[in-house]
Amino acid sequence: MGSGPSGGRRAFLAGAAGVATTTAGCMGNVRNLVGRQEVDQLSLSIATLPASEDPYAVRIATRLAENLRRSGIDIVIDPVRPDVLFRDVLVNHDFDLYVARYPSHGDPDELRSMLYSPYAEESGWQNPFGFADLTLDEILDEQRTDEGEERIDTVHEIQRQMVREQPFTVVCFPDHLGAVRNDRFEGWPDGGPGRPPDYFGIDRVGSESTLQLLLGDGRITRNRNPLAVEYRNQANFTGLLYDPLIRSIRNNSLPDSEPDPIPWLAGSVEWTDGEILSATVRLRETPWHDGKPVTARDVAFTYEFLSDTSLGAFDTPVPTPWRRGRVSLVDSVAVQDDRRFRLQFTTGNRSVARRSLAVPILPAHIWRERADSAEIAGLELGGRTTQALVDSNEAAIGSGPLQFVEATADESLSLEVFPDHFLHTGHDDGIPDRFLEDRPFERIEFTVAPSDDAAVEILLEDRADATADGLQASVVPRIVRSDDISLTARGTEFFYHIGYNCRRAPMVDPNFRRAIAGHIDREATVADSLDGYGIPSEVPLKGQWAPGDLLWDGEASRPFFGTDGTLDEAAAREAFQEAGYQYDSGKLVRRGPT
């Protein structure tokens, strides 16, 4: 369109005005008609993290925003600190679009949590998009009961449907980069320590008994609540404090293989197949950090509590915003004695049911009193919330191999070995030998580094042993030039994605979301924004779970509107027009009243 109304539109409006001067009682109708032609440029915001917290995320957001501006959208990038971003997105649902990493473990049942319609109004990583598709809901349920190749095919179909509907747009899997020294400790896993068992697989060199690690994300120094979704990533640090019944442990000699499920707090798990799948679990002998024994009643409490943190006190349950999908796999828990209980599951598939055994077990004598109502500024839940979800849990009394000592917010965290943990008391049947040798350390000191460059400098000055939560690619040249520190890397299951708030117009429209998705060039993004340390993808799963027709071959099934990272503006605008949207003076517009 040109800079003003077309001649036809001007003539129409002039004619309408002439009729209005001679026709009594019609002026209101004309106002309504004119008002329907009022237009405003479409304005959207992209929430993400600042460069100091996640330069990859803000670079992806910036690249997307620049391309959307070329397509006529008034776009603003809103970088905020992690707890604010995830509170707005996961709890308050107050966003248009966002760019962030999804803390995936690569399990296909995660897709049910992400996309299941009944979760759309809950808080947390379960369907933060507000996406609803009843047909997809049925398929998400099917993958919980299917077995073998049939389940693989079902998971493939879920991802094909996801790519068609675009409730979120997968961009890439980043590599996890770390830097380590080998003069005091060695045997570091690829990428440095990640999941909790990694810490007990390293070896001490010499007499140093304190492991000095660096953090880029200081949220754990302010909040140690394993249920507080805005403060957690993959729960790697709270996992040192709280034990699950089983742990999935990587085979370091086969880094691309599926993790092995290892009985952890559970000394044994005996499965019983049948019309209803069940398992009888025997707990290891081990205490909480305050000396009280861990019992089967704590386990039963945990599953009840995670299903409803109000423990039935509210009219509507308040489930955990973290691990909701895992807890939904448990139908009931029957306590048999202090150390034995029986679980019944909502699925007959063992591999799926096993996910439910990986939630952190909580001490009932501490968490039961956190079921009370809480009113917290910044939380705008549709219903009420509980103390359990907002308490910072400073003391963090769990049963894990490490116990809390002290912390200074945004500066440091000190943990020390819990000597009464089953790893150190002989109640360790079934635990891999590499975790049972001499303790590699007695204490861990985590220090928050102000930047990745500062972290590398601290390592070079021999004031730390390794990074604990990853580094950005920008510091790789400094690391590889040094003889004192080493670069270590691994592939990841978590992925960067663009999330859409499907509760709001125009994101409610899948045609609009598909047009947005065409504004990101995954190959160029990995090359430029991640300096090549990542793998482009348009699906959230890898390996056998990724459909063959959607495996990355250099171009997405819904390709970028352009080449080599350069947007073809004509093609992009045509996509919006084909989706039913209009332009006025080069701007994508939304209609509104006068």
Scan for tokens 């001007």, then name that residue: 10
Contact 311, 300 (CB under 8 A): no
d(CA 594, CA 446): 57
d(CA 15, CA 28): 15
DSSP code string of 522-591: HHHHHHHHSTT-EEE-SSS--GGGS-GGGS-SSS-SS--SEETTEE-HHHHHHHHHHTT-EEETTEEEEE
Contact 353, 329 (CB under 8 A): yes
Instruction: Of 544, 524, 545, give the one whose Cα is nearest residue 162.
Output: 545
Global confidence as pTM: 0.88
pLDDT number for residue 251: 65
d(CA 135, CA 72): 34
| Peptide bond connecting 506 to the previous residue in cis, omega within 30 degrees of 0 | yes
Which residues lie closer than 8 Å to 153 by C-beta, 6 or more apart? Answer: 146
Q: Which helix (H) or strand (E) holds 446?
A: strand 443-448
pLDDT number for residue 24: 43
DSSP code string of 88-104: IIIIS---SEEEEEE--
d(CA 498, CA 215): 26
Read off the DSSP letter of residue 263. E
Indicate the average pLDDT of the chain: 89
> Is the model's pLDDT at 25 over the cut of 50?
no
Hey, what's the torsion of the CAs at 81, 82, 84, 88, to 10 degrees?
Answer: 130
* Of the candidate ranges 33-42, 492-501, 581-590, the one whose mean pLDDT is the lowest: 33-42
d(CA 42, CA 586): 12
Q: Which helix (H) or strand (E) holds 256?
A: none
> Is the model's pLDDT at 93 over the cut of 70?
yes
pLDDT number for residue 3: 40
Structure tokens at 174: 């980043």
- Mean pLDDT in residue range 245-267: 77
* Of the candidate ranges 110-124, 361-375, 430-444, the one whose mean pLDDT is the lowest: 430-444
Q: What share of the chain is helix, strand, coil (3-state, %, to 5)?
A: 35, 20, 45
pLDDT in tens, 131-166: 999 999 999 999 999 999 999 999 999 999 999 999
Confidence of residue 514 (pLDDT cuts 50, 70, 90): very high
Hey, what's the torsion of the CAs at 200, 432, 485, 101, to 10 degrees?
Answer: -80
Contact 88, 55 (CB under 8 A): no
Contact 466, 190 (CB under 8 A): no
* Residue 273 bridge partners (DSSP): none
What pairing do the DSSP bridges indicate for beta strands 43-48 and 74-79?
A: parallel
Confidence of residue 198 (pLDDT cuts 50, 70, 90): confident
d(CA 124, CA 189): 30
